[in-house]
Structure formats: C-alpha cells, structure tokens
Amino acid sequence: MAEAGDLAALALMTRHPERFVWIDETGSAVKIGSSAADPDAYRKHNLWIPPSVGWSTLHPRAQRLLADVLLLLNLTEREGLTLDDRLQRTNRTELPPCLTRDRSVLRPERTVGKPGAAEPGTGCLRGCKFELCPYPAKGEQPAGELREPFCRHQQVLAARRTLRRERAGWQGMTSHELGRFWGAMAERTRTPSKGDG
C-alpha cells in the first residue's frame, strides 16, 4: 500500500491533515453524537477532527485510512519528542508495524501515571524503527484525542464483511483484533481523566 504510506507521510510532514480530501473543513456541520455535547470538551481536546467535520460522509476506505493517519499523528505529536526526534522517527514512507501488524503494543487502555515503560519507543514491536509506542496514555492528552463516535465507527468498519474482503493492504491484523483495538480506543474516551487533563 505505497499510496496509503505516501498519504500518511504527507499528512505527517505537512502537519495539515485537513488538507487532504477526507476532511471537509468548510462543509456543513455534521452532527456526530448527541447535540448536548459539551462544546468545552472540543476546545479542551484540540481535536484533529472537530465536530463539524464530515468524516462520516467519506468512503469507508478513506475513513479507515484517515483513522490510521490520525493515530500516527498522535503517536508523533507528543511531549518529550523534539522536532528532530519526530522527523527522524517518521521520515519514512510506510506505516509503523505497531499500526500495521499488532496494535496491542499501542496499549490504548493505558492510564497516565502508571509505573513501567511508557517512553515513546519502549513499547514497540521488535524491529520497529519508529520508536513511538506505546500510544499516549489516557489523560496524557495526545495532539487530538479521537472521539468515541469515530472510534466506534472504526470498530463497525472492522467488522463489516464487504470491507473485510477488501481489507486495507496495510492492516495486517485480523478484523477481530482491529475491532478490539478500536473498542479500546472508544473506551478510553468515555471516562474523562480527572484533574490531569
């Protein structure tokens, strides 16, 4: 999937994923989730995908690619990594094996403040050159926390039979594993971290 890799790399290098087709900044507001959602929460989280953006109108394959690009952005745009670090670790045209092969190493359920190896790079699969895992902990505020509806939607996509047949070339895990990962990603947005946000 050289194309996916290129797109991901481009989004990453430009730091402007919204330039890519899948985000329609000017489009009419697409309500995702409840209308009673707290607007402060959006501001607080500095979302890559603001609530007004119509990701839900994209082709499922584009949604799937978008999700993985956003994961990569969140892995990269974090405290403790200098700009040099970031460029050095991500200046590649493929996605990290921790995204493509085994997402359990991202440990999306991890909470902040737990002892143990958590520095970027300490959780990677053997041979991973990106050195970005694990994923920022819950409460560590990644650049743009992915919201629950988005994650749930990815979970649904993972299980969809037509999509399973034409599985994204870069996703080397089973649809079950992928679905479980997105379930965990959705869960982490449910319980707001107290006091450390």
Task: Give me the least distance between CB of 41 and Zn ion, in Å please.
Answer: 29
Instruction: Give the shortest CB-97-to-Zn ion separation in angstroms.
Output: 6
3-state DSSP assignment of residue 127: coil
Categorise residue 80: left if φ over 0, alpha if ψ from -120 to 50, beta otherwise. left
User: Which stretches within 19-174 are classed as H helix?
Assistant: 39-45, 60-76, 83-90, 97-100, 148-159, 161-165
24 vs 102 by CB, closer to Zn ion: 102
Q: Which is nearer to Zn ion, 23 or 173 (CB)?
A: 173
Please identify which residue in 133, 143, 146, 184 interacts with Zn ion, judged by CB under 5 A.
133
Q: Which candidate, 130, 169, 178, places its Cα nearest to that of 4?
A: 169
Min dist CB 164 to Zn ion, Å, is: 25
Q: What are phi and psi of 145, to 5 degrees?
A: -60, 135
Q: Which of 192, 172, 163, 142 minimizes the C-alpha distance to 38?
A: 192
Angle between helices 148-159 and 175-190 (to 10 degrees): 170
The nearer residue to Zn ion, 129 or 164, going by C-beta atoms, is 129
CB of 131 to Zn ion, least distance (A): 6
Which C-beta is closer to Zn ion: that of 54 or that of 121? 121
**Cα 39 from Cα 34, distance rounded (Å):** 11
Q: Which span (4-12, 106-114, 133-141, 185-193) binds Zn ion, by CB under 5 A?
A: 133-141
Examine residue 185 and tell whether it contacts Zn ion (CB under 5 A).
no
What does the alpha-carbon distance between residue 195 and residue 197 come to, in Å, rounded to a whole number? 6
Tell me how far, at minimum, the Cβ of 98 lies from Zn ion, in Å.
3
Per-residue binding letters, 93-132, with Zn ion (x by CB under 5 A): ---x-x-------------------------x---x-x--
Contact residues: Zn ion, CB under 5 A? 96, 98, 124, 128, 130, 133
